Structure 1
Amino acid sequence: MDVMTDELGIRRGHALRAAVEQGLVGEAEPVVGLLDVTGIEQSATALHAAFATPGVAVTHTFAVKAASLVPVLGLLGECGLGAEVASPGELALARAAGIPAERTVLDSPAKTVAELREALALGIAVNADNPQELARIDALVAAGPSAPAGPPVASPVGLRVNPQVGGGTIGAMSTATATSKFGVALRDPGAEEWVLRAYAERPWLNRLHTHTGSQGVPLELMAAGVRAAYDLAERINAAAGRQQVDTLDIGGGLPVNFRSDDVTPSFADYARVLRAEVPGLFDGRYGIVTEFGRSLLAKNGTVLARVEYAKSAGGRPIAVTHAGAQVATRTVFVPEAWPIRVLALDGKGREKGGEPVVQDVAGPCCFAGDLVAQGRALPLLEEGDYVALLDTGAYYFSNHFAYNSLPRPAVHAYTAGADGSVTFAPVRTAQSQDELVAESGGGLPALRRG
């Protein structure tokens, strides 16, 4: 464990205790999310350092789906990151956070004409997913203002390709399989020839995009996807007789280690593999765009929840907490792919000692499978204790599952001093019952019998 990893755990421990002491969590607010500001800043710094190369323009964007929280996007913006958006809502959040158009990329696989029109009007980079979408962009370009002295579109525009290099250990997260829904499938008959024609017919098409990585995908497979896109860009440019494709958007998807606090693989690990497998990517002829999400935030977040009851069934102790499928949806429904670590804390937010006892950690949802940990050896949890779900800074806060009409919990960012003092700042307030009712149609007329 390196110094930075050790410091992460120390800051987290201070924050967990302070959250209880300061009343951010308790009977009234039994579950909260916590984000480590220093950790986020360090992750952004590590990303910049890993890809920094003299003479190469690198734009790092954050995949907004991983933490769709405006204050977090604003912090990442201050750290020099842009935003990768995949819906009108995510674009609205990025704009609210002050992310400039030149650092924003639109990647949705189901863009409407209105979305495309808005992005092109704002100067946002667009990666077309398929031939039909490219035809829509053609129509928008043709209908736009004439620009005889320059390109017909101000936005950088690229095409997403699927290199079909294979999947990782989680099928649902693998984007470069033979039948993936994303991009133009390069190995399908006639696909590469179509791509070459598409660029030849559109001199303004100047980017190429691929995204192979995600949780469960090894670095070598990610690099193989980038290599396929790089080789294709070389063929496009050779056919054009000029540097038509000037930027390669290599996506994100760096896997996260959910077994310990160690950050492995790191951004530096991935950059080393890319430099070895695709050296031309860093020779200065291409700009680079990245779209990392989970790997920037996961280690820097924790869900903290109160143990409401401690019971047993069939000889197995069960701690019933307020953190379940509503905040840890993937973990509950696909635990083998998305396991998370659980810390047992006492009623003051301090890590518990004592002999580990095999037990279940359950959530509040009204179905039997709502378990965030099953058969886990932990110090015995009791009523009034707390559990901390680690590595939950990405997706767990922003992808709330409204089962049983459970409200979205508050999220707080923290800064921990060397003396153990902790300062919290609000990121999102807890959803009130009035807001929950309004979201569910409250205030609208009751339906009447026909």
Structure 2
Amino acid sequence: MGAVLRQAIGSGLLRTEQPVAGFLDVHGIRGSVAALHAAFGGVPNVLHTFAAKAASLVPVLRLLAEEGMGCEVASPGELRLARDAGFAPERVVLDSPAKTHEEITEALAWGIALNADNLDELRRIDELRPAGCMSVIGLRVNPQVGGGTIGAMSTATATSKFGVALRDAGNRAAVIRAFADRPWLTRLHAHVGSQGCPLDLIAEGIAETYRLAEEINAAVGRQQITSLDIGGGLPVNFADAEIRPTFDDYAAALRATVPGLFDGRYGLVTEFGRSLLAKNGFIAARVEYAKQAGGRRIAVTHAGAQTATRTVLMPGAWPLRVGAFDHGGEPLTGPVVAQDIAGPCCFAGDVVAEDRALPVLSEGDFVVLYDTGAYYFSTPWAYNSLPRPAVYGYTHTGTVRLTPVRDAQTLDEIAAESGARHADRLLELTSAGQTS
């Protein structure tokens, strides 16, 4: 990583005018995909999809498509990115709890797989599904097995907004009837959660979904459900550099809890995101000022809530490791002192790391936020109209090679997004009202 940072600084990719950027390790991403495929090796008919929300960047999605991944999307924008990245329609899965008539019609016309979120959506699909439709259509259920340590990341709680709540009165029977009434409904989908959810909880949610599939097939008298979408959600270790749990750990937990999942009777779909990319990326940001307040040293940098949104707003749930480097990209040495790493956003809580023991940071040094390859710089927050940072991909095999993934946002682009073309429209309304 140090060599990559030095190359980025030396080539001007990090400088006064561009003080923050994201970096993605191409070989690391390929290695993570290979590890996922290996964990399910020998299992027939598995489609591993990447959750586009974890890195909504077309070059990243194109790389993943080349590595044999499919793509899970949850909005018209993500679907557009998946198409631009070159994913075949049959390797795209549309999930969203709020699909419009237009989204459903478009997906079914293209032959994209679709998971209905609720029974009302199934009734909408009844009306919109064209003759000869090639889409695999499923239903998402909520096994209601409980939550993990981060409520916002837990999607199988009693009151989760996702899927049909299986343990609510009458719902299990209603799901069975829904399948019996629709021979074209052939997939069952569930997702328990992600960060903060232990493997045993995830496995139990998938086991409950498997049991329901068996019950439905028995009720209709044939194997109508031919595939199970088991979601993603492998949590990431942000405490240190070790990858844990691994995809092998995940597969082993599933084999122990629901061995029938791997016997080939059901095709499998996975939807991993964070676990594939998090440890294959980092953010580097220039220290603009270093100051003291209340006896605490504060390094004010250009990486704050606009890139590390979850960490700033929920620091206990999303802590990040921080590295300290000098103006040339060499690791800082010397006395270690407690410091806050603050961001550029204009609110007091914009602190990425608090009371962190690091070598003394000064103006012109750089901080690195590790394990930020997923979500962080690919889905920025537009607070204070701060520009989206540039993103670069890299390889490091003796020589560091860098290539652009996304350009830094310009001020002209910010103005355009903020309605500059309509600057006088409100004044025109006022003038029209005064003269009428």
- TM-score w.r.t. length of structure 2: 0.97
Shift of residue 14, structure 1, vs aligned partner: 1.6
Residues of 2 paired with 1:445 and 1:281: CA distance? 58
Tell me the secondary structure at the aligned position of residue 223 of structure 1. helix
2:138 equivalent among 148, 158, 172 = 158
Aligned to 2:342: 362
Gaps of 5+ in 1: 1-11, 148-152
Secondary structure in structure 2 of the residue aligned to 1:411: strand
> Match of 2:307, as an amino acid?
V
Offset of residue 213 of structure 1: 2.7
1:60-79, Cα deviation, whole Å (9 max, x unpaired): 00000000000000000011
- Which residue of the other structure, out of 31, 53, 58, is the alignment partner of 1:42? 31
Task: Give the Å deviation of 1:28.
Answer: 1.2
Match of 1:300 in 2: 280
Task: For residue 193 of structure 1, report the CA deviation from its aligned partner.
Answer: 0.2
Measure, in 1, the Cα distance between the counterparts of 2:159 and 2:42: 35
Q: 1:7 corresponds to which residue?
A: none
Indicate whether 1:352 and 2:340 are aligned.
no
- Cα offset for 1:172? 1.0
Corresponding residue number in structure 2 for 1:31: 20
Task: Determine the structure 2 residue equivalent to 1:63.
Answer: 51
1:426 has 2:404 as partner: yes
Q: Deviation string for 1:206-233 (max 9, x for gaps)?
A: 0000000310000000000000000000
Number of the residue aligned with 2:377: 397
Match of 2:364 among 384, 409, 422: 384
- Determine the C-alpha separation between the residues in 1 that align with 2:94 and 2:193: 18
Aligned residue for 2:77, secondary structure, equals helix
Distance 1:53 1:314 in 2: 60
Residues 379-438 of structure 1 show CA distances to partners (whole Å, capped at 9, x for unaligned) of 010110000000000000122111111000000000111x2x211111000000101100
Query: For 1:86-116, what per-residue CA distance to the aligned partner results, in whole angstroms no more than 9, with x for missing partners?
Result: 0000000000000111110000110001000
Q: Which residue of 2 aligns with 1:5?
A: none
Q: What letter is aligned with 1:165?
A: V
2-structure distance, mates of 1:355, 1:278: 52
Match status 1:130 vs 2:110: no
Structure-2 residue corresponding to 1:106: 94
Q: CA deviation at 1:137?
A: 0.3
Distance in 2 separating the partners of 1:357 and 1:75: 41
Corresponding residue number in structure 2 for 1:439: 417
Q: Which amino acid aligns with 2:14?
A: V
Secondary structure of 1:89 counterpart: helix
Q: Paired residue for 1:21? A: 10
Partner deviation per Cα, 1:13-35 (whole Å, 9 max, x = no partner): 22111111111101010000000
SS at match of 1:443: helix
> Match of 1:77?
65
Where does 1:29-428 land on structure 2 (aligned, <5 Å)?
29-54=18-43, 56-141=44-129, 144-145=130-131, 147=132, 153-417=133-397, 419=398, 421-428=399-406
In structure 2, give the amino acid aligned to 1:72.
Answer: V
1:3 alignment counterpart: none
Where in structure 2 are there 5+ consecutive unaligned residues?
A: none
Q: In structure 2, what is the Cα distance between the partners aligned to 1:125 and 1:434?
A: 38
3-state SS, counterpart of residue 120 of structure 1: helix
TM (normalized to structure 1)?
A: 0.94
CA drift of 1:242 comes to 1.3
What SS does the aligned partner of 2:282 have? Answer: strand
Say what the alpha-carbon RMSD is for the aligned residues: 0.8
Question: Identity across aligned pairs (percent)?
Answer: 66
Q: Give 3-state SS (helix, strand or coil) of 2:421's partner.
A: coil
Inter-partner Cα distance in structure 2 for 1:289 and 1:236: 19
- Write the distance in 2 (CA, Å) between the matches of 1:184 and 1:53: 32
One-letter code aligned to 1:31:
V
| Helix, strand or coil at the partner of 1:158 | strand
Provide the C-alpha distance between the structure 1 equivalents of 2:69 and 2:294, rounded to a whole number of angstroms: 51
Q: Deviations over 1:41-72 (max 9, x none)?
A: 00000000001224x21000000000000000
Output one character per residue of 1:132-161: Cα deviation in whole Å (capped at 9) or x when no partner.
1000000012xx23x5xxxxx310000000
d(CA) in 1 for partners of 2:255, 2:239: 28
How many angstroms apart in 1 are the aligned matches of 2:96 and 2:203?
A: 22
1:245 partner SS: coil
CA distance in 2: counterparts of 1:243 and 1:64, whole angstroms: 31
CA distance in 1, matches of 2:148, 2:7: 39
Q: Aligned-pair distance for 1:445?
A: 3.7
Aligned match of 1:4: none
Amino acid at match of 1:414: Y
The answer to whether the 8 Å contact 1:109/1:182 transfers is: yes
TM superposition shift of 1:352: 1.1
Q: Which moved more, 1:95-104 or 1:234-243?
A: 234-243
Q: CA offsets, 1:244-283, max 9 Å, x none? A: 1000000001000001110000111000000111100000
Q: Separation in 1 of the partners of 2:61 and 2:143?
A: 30
**CA distances 1:266-325 after superposition (whole Å, capped 9, x unpaired):** 111000000111100000100000000000000011010000011111111110000000
Letter in 2 for 1:270: Y
Alignment partners' CA distance in 1, 2:45 and 2:34: 16
Q: Is the 8 A contact 1:52 1:58 kept in 2?
A: no
Partner Cα separation in structure 2 for residue 45 and residue 191 of structure 1:
39
